[in-house]
Amino acid sequence: EQVVIEVQDLVKWYPVKVGILQKVAGYVKAVDGVSFSIKRSETLGLVGESGCGKTTTARCMLRLTEPTKGRIFFEGKDIMKFDRESMRKLRPRMQVIFQDPYSSLNPRLTVKEIIGEALTFHGIARGRELEDRVGELLKMVGLSPQHIKRFPHEFSGGQRQRIGIARALATNPDLIVCDEPVSALDVSIQSQILNLLEDLQERLGVSYLFIAHGLNVVKHISHRVGVMYLGKLVEIADSEEIYKNPLHPYTQALISAIPIPDPKRKREKILLEGDVPSPINPPEGCRFWTRCRYVMDICRHEEPELLESAPGHKVACHLYKC
């Protein structure tokens, strides 16, 4: 199967500057050595609490934020070596669907202008052709082509997110980063949007990096799931495998937080103690040790590597060192 995008050892540190002289006092280690790949027509779910580095990872992957270090391959080509012009040509093939359908659509633009913006910008379509393409995109996301001249405020939250999806699809991308696309929507609307994204993937063969807070949202839509904690990828596996057999104590805690619909079945809820430590001076060794119920001596000073524990299942935890 063809890999669309691969990131290797992605790092993004932000300097923390202090005083009048703005001396660098430390670094926010937002993303600290993350590697993964996404295949064609595949959805990789990326989960973790706020500030764990999921969105920064995605932004670096698209080169919307310049990574501090690391390599990014798009269809095998190292795009860190791309100059501005090559990046500009690549842009239409990588798109984003944003979290908030209210603030991500310019209220002063019509639906046609919003969806058609990228087509105009990249010189893909104009005039009648542009209008036809926007109409077609609206149909694809379950809206009427007659909505073309309307403004965002005339739509509900779910419909606005459909417009956001149509905008992302306009340039026929190979990869879409879905940055918490349903978290601002009512639960009843969430599943409609998730189903739409799934249908579109089946029809178009597009790949998704699907970012979410908790594991319940990504459960149905993802083929594989990666779990991040304080700038690190701590576990990655096939979706079914990670729900049935979570290995990292942090993943286990996230899974225990998913409500079970069947009241007869019970699951022990693992409460995580304490807050997420600051990414400025993350704990030495395993970054999770301050909250881990299995913490051992080695965890406090030696960082666990992300190692394969079974085919396709990787985990970074000293409990599983062979």
**Residues in touch with ligand SF4 (CB under 6 A):** 248-249, 286, 288-289, 292, 294-296, 299, 304, 317-319
Can you say whether the dihedral through the CA atoms of 134, 139, 140, 141 is positive or negative?
A: positive
Strand 224-229 relative to strand 43-47: parallel, antiparallel, unpaired? parallel
- Nearer to ligand SF4 among residue 165 and residue 254 (C-beta): 254
Q: Residue 40: how many CB atoms within 10 A of its CB? A: 15
- Nearer to ligand SF4 among residue 70 and residue 246 (C-beta): 246
- Nearer to ligand SF4 among residue 16 and residue 296 (C-beta): 296
For residue 286, the minimal CB distance to ligand SF4 (Å) is: 3
For residue 248, the minimal CB distance to ligand SF4 (Å) is: 6
For residue 310, the minimal CB distance to ligand SF4 (Å) is: 17
- Nearer to ligand SF4 among residue 258 and residue 319 (C-beta): 319
- Nearer to ligand SF4 among residue 134 and residue 315 (C-beta): 315
Can you say whether the dihedral through the CA atoms of 167, 169, 170, 176 is positive or negative?
A: positive
166 exposure class (CB count in 10 Å sphere: 0-12, 13-18, 19+) = buried
For residue 316, the minimal CB distance to ligand SF4 (Å) is: 7
Q: Residue 77: how many CB atoms within 10 A of its CB? A: 12
Q: Are 227 and 212 in contact (CB under 8 A)?
A: no
For residue 298, the minimal CB distance to ligand SF4 (Å) is: 7
Residues contacting 19, CB < 8 A, separation 6+: none
- Nearer to ligand SF4 among residue 214 and residue 283 (C-beta): 283
For residue 294, the minimal CB distance to ligand SF4 (Å) is: 4
CA 243 – CA 217 distance, rounded (Å) = 12
For residue 30, the minimal CB distance to ligand SF4 (Å) is: 20
At residue 310, φ and ψ (nearest 5 deg) are -150, 165
- Nearer to ligand SF4 among residue 186 and residue 297 (C-beta): 297
